[in-house]
């Protein structure tokens, strides 16, 4: 028999404790993410108005290299450093990571690098959390939880998906396992940070899947309305999304090693990366694969346009994959997730055209599933699908994300991720 007073009392005490700890963390992280999103918007619009900024990308890369070289070498490891500190608390996440990654990301996007934004948000959240952990004088275990809360806050606020943010922070540390020791703290911080971020007037891009599956179904048994053919197409697409996620992770890792081998002077690597990006734009004859790619001034080849039939070219997903792998491997900042959304949505669109499936649904599936594959976080991505696109298609979200997760193998974009349960059981 448990003592009611003791057990529930302890739980209440613990909850109150964490809430008090997390309010300032969430407030600061949410505010910083709002500032970041506002700056990012400014950088993106400025680049659209002044296309010549792209030619300064190699110089911008050198500037980012110099920033990290002179002011924060230990912050270079980014997301992996935050994750390593959660696994095994060590030297801590440096406070300077916040200004560095914020500045680095804005520079990357202003001059046309193809990168994301979640890395920035997660790193800001992580480094702010570590400042608070020192102030609170937390023990090792509680410090880990607080760092996870920082990640959850950053992720939840930057995409406006607090539940996915909380699950992401718990799911990303290990392949194949979620532990619930940080369940409530992560949810509190992600929800609060999202509220704070929204309160500054930040409005997240709205995506819509118009296709209603129930209406497109051909029923052959009375009263039975399930589209088995569509399910098979989703499974096939899920395999493709998994392989795309894996291809992105491997491509980035390979290119990173390639640069280091080919170019001995480290400061020259971002310069070379910038030149490759410029060359790529002229080879393709457009600027569609620069920046975040959420929207595009010409209305074509963007995440939003991928939700409409004919909204992206057949190979858009591959170009975005290559542009992003070059950008990030060369040392530019921002993270991988928004480009992964682009790659997935574009690939989904292409698969929909090829297989005669609804383009908006498959764009949405790719959006979350390639991300699930590259980061090994299928449950968080399924929930993100619900938060972004609504819940009617949760079955397809689950099938696509779980299948993609399964087929991406054990390579992911985060080297600090550990394997708890391998995906292959039989030899």
What is d(CA 197, CA 176) in angstroms, rounded to the nearest whole number?
31
> Measured from the CB of residue 82, what is the shortest distance to a copy of itself in angstroms?
21
For 213, phi then psi, to 5°, come to -60, -40
Nearer to a copy of itself, 347 or 386 (CB): 386
Minimum CB separation from a copy of itself for residue 94, in Å?
27
Q: Please report how close the Cβ of residue 427 comes to a copy of itself at its closest, in angstroms.
A: 8
Tokens representing 282? 């002229």
Residue closer to a copy of itself (CB basis): 261 or 426 = 426
Quote the CA–CA distance of 160 and 191 in Å, as a whole number: 9
CA–CA dist 74, 90 (Å, integer) = 12
CB of 242 to a copy of itself, least distance (A): 9
Q: Which is nearer to a copy of itself, 194 or 288 (CB)?
A: 194
Question: How is 293-340 classified by DSSP, letter by letter?
Answer: -S--TTSSSSTTGGGSTTSS-TTHHHHHHHHHHHHHHTT--S-SHHHH
Q: Are 292 and 349 in contact (CB under 8 A)?
A: no
**Closer CB to a copy of itself, residue 115 or residue 255?**
255
Residues engaged in binding a copy of itself (CB under 8 A): 2, 7-8, 10-15, 17, 141-142, 162-163, 166-167, 175-181, 183-184, 187, 191, 195, 198-199, 201, 203, 221-226, 228, 231, 243, 378-379, 382-383, 386-387, 389-392, 394-395, 398-399, 402-403, 405-407, 409-411, 420-421, 423-426
Least CB distance to a copy of itself at residue 304 (A) = 20
Both ends of the chain: CA-CA distance in Å? 45
Question: Cβ of residue 207: shortest distance to a copy of itself, in angstroms?
Answer: 13
Residue count (the chain): 427
Note the Cα 33 to chain centre separation in Å. Answer: 14
- The Cα–Cα gap between 75 and 103 comes to 13
State in angstroms the smallest separation of the CB of 280 from a copy of itself.
25
For the CB of residue 405, give the shortest distance to a copy of itself in the complex, in Å. 7
Q: Which is nearer to a copy of itself, 219 or 298 (CB)?
A: 219
Structure tokens at 136: 């609170």
All residues at 6 or more sequence positions from 8 whose CB lies less than 8 Å from its CB, including other chains: none
We find the least distance from the C-beta atom of residue 268 to a copy of itself, in angstroms, to be 26
- Report the distance separating Cα 91 and Cα 97, nearest Å: 13
Q: Which residues, 6+ apart, have CB-to-CB distance to 265 below 8 Å?
A: none
* Residue with smaller CB distance to a copy of itself, 205 or 298: 205
CB nearer to a copy of itself: give 347 or 383.
Answer: 383
Which residues, listed in sequence order, are joined to residue 68 by a DSSP beta bridge?
none
Going by C-alpha positions, the residue among 212, 210, 161 that lies closest to residue 381 is: 161
Of residues 116 and 378, the one with the C-beta less far from a copy of itself? 378
3-state secondary structure of 281: helix
Which residue number, 107 or 372, has a Cβ lying nearer to a copy of itself?
A: 372
Q: Are 186 and 170 in contact (CB under 8 A)?
A: yes
Provide the 8-state DSSP code for 227: -
């Amino acid at each position: 028999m448990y003592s009611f007073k003791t057990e529930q009392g302890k739980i209440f005490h613990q909850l109150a404790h964490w809430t008090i700890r997390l309010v300032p963390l969430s407030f600061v992280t949410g505010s910083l993410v709002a500032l970041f999103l506002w700056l990012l918007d400014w950088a993106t619009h400025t680049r659209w108005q002044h296309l010549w900024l792209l030619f300064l990308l190699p110089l911008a890369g050198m500037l980012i290299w110099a920033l990290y070289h002179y002011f924060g070498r230990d912050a270079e490891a980014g997301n992996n450093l935050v994750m390593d500190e959660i696994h095994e608390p060590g030297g801590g996440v440096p406070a300077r990571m916040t200004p560095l990654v914020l500045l680095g990301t804005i520079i990357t996007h202003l001059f046309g690098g193809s990168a994301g934004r979640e890395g920035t948000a997660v790193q800001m959240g992580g480094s702010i959390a570590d400042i608070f952990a020192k102030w609170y004088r937390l023990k090792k275990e509680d410090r880990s939880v607080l760092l996870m809360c920082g990640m959850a806050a950053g992720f939840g606020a930057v995409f406006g998906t607090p539940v996915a943010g909380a699950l992401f922070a718990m799911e990303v540390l290990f392949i194949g396992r979620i532990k619930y020791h940080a369940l409530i703290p992560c949810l509190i911080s992600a929800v609060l940070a999202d509220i704070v971020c929204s309160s500054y007037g930040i409005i997240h891009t709205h995506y819509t899947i118009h296709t209603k599956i129930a209406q497109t179904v051909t029923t052959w048994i009375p009263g039975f309305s399930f589209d088995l053919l569509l399910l098979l197409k989703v499974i096939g697409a899920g395999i493709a999304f998994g392989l795309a996620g894996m291809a992105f992770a491997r491509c980035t890792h390979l290119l990173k090693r390639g640069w280091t081998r080919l170019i001995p002077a480290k400061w020259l690597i971002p310069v070379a990366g910038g030149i490759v990006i410029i060359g790529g734009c002229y080879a393709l004859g457009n600027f569609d694969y620069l920046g975040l790619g959420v929207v595009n001034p010409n209305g074509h080849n963007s995440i939003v346009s991928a939700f409409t039939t004919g909204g992206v070219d057949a190979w858009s997903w591959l170009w975005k994959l290559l542009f992003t792998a070059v950008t990030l491997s060369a040392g530019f900042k921002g993270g991988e997730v928004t480009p992964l959304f682009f790659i997935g949505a574009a690939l989904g669109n292409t698969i929909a055209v090829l297989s005669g499936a609804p383009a908006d649904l498959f764009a949405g599936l790719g959006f979350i599933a390639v991300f699930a594959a590259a980061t090994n976080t299928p449950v968080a991505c399924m929930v993100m699908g619900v938060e972004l696109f609504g819940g009617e298609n949760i079955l397809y979200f689950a099938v696509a994300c779980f299948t993609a997760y399964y087929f991406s193998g054990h390579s992911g974009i985060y080297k600090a991720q550990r394997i708890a349960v391998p995906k292959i059981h039989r030899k």
